[in-house]
């Protein structure tokens, strides 16, 4: 049985976020830019997020350290802010044609087609920002007061529907 494959991009980004932190944080801790406790906490929370999205896509559970919903939302809000800053920097450093095309509401895919490598850093940063924002928004659905179901609802519905299809076959 497979999971919700359409969310594979989110699962890949969550896993990549863990890898980036594991690769970059030791140097930041060594230089005093980040405390060891904060680095450990962020990696723990991102490992929990990555494990959940792996489950969404593959329906396979893996062990991950626990993290609260509030920790996950806070981590994703901070990551979305960082990604937005990176996207704005990439836009500012883009070729004039790329900036003008964006300001004229040219679709991102068309910008990439037209400007190729010159647009790639901006498009990559744009993509990462929206992926982080999407992850953040899925977790916000689980906050008290939200009237929208979280991702677990959709995975459970998918599993039930798959089981019913198999039973009917």
pLDDT digits (tens, 9 = 90+) for 101-129: 999 999 999 999 999 999 999 999 999 99
On the question of pLDDT at 2 being above 70, the answer is no
pLDDT digits (tens, 9 = 90+) for 41-55: 999 999 999 999 998
Give the C-alpha separation, 56 to 132, whole Å: 16
pLDDT band at 130 (very low <50, low <70, confident <90, very high): very high
> Which pLDDT belongs to residue 4?
80
Kindly state the tokens that stand for 70: 């509030």
pLDDT band at 60 (very low <50, low <70, confident <90, very high): confident
DSSP state of 143: S
pLDDT digits (tens, 9 = 90+) for 31-42: 999 999 999 999
Taking every pair of C-alpha atoms in the chain, what is the biggest distance, in angstroms? 61
Query: Average per-residue pLDDT in the chain?
Result: 92
* CA-angle at 107, arms to 140 and 129, nearest 5°: 30
Number of domains in the chain: 1
Give the C-alpha separation, 102 to 124, whole Å: 14
> Which pLDDT belongs to residue 1?
47
Kindly state the tokens that stand for 135: 């992850």
| Residue 51 structural domain | 5-168
* CA-angle at 7, arms to 66 and 145, nearest 5°: 60
Give the C-alpha separation, 104 to 58, whole Å: 40
Give the C-alpha separation, 153 to 158, whole Å: 9
């Amino acid at each position: 049985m497979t999971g919700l494959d359409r969310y594979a991009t989110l699962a890949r980004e969550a896993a990549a976020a863990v890898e980036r932190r594991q690769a970059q944080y030791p140097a930041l801790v060594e230089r005093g830019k980040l405390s060891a406790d904060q680095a450990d906490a962020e990696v723990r929370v991102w490992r929990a997020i990555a494990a959940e999205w792996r489950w969404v896509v593959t329906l396979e559970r893996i062990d991950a350290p626990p993290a609260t919903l509030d920790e996950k939302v806070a981590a994703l809000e901070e990551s979305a802010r960082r990604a937005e800053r990176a996207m704005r920097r990439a836009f500012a450093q883009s070729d004039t044609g790329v900036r003008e095309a964006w300001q004229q509401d040219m679709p991102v895919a068309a910008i990439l087609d037209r400007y190729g490598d010159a647009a790639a850093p901006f498009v990559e940063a744009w993509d990462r920002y929206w992926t982080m924002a999407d992850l953040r928004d899925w977790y916000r659905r689980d906050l008290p007061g939200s009237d929208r179901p979280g991702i677990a609802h959709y995975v459970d519905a998918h599993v039930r529907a798959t089981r019913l299809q198999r039973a009917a076959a």
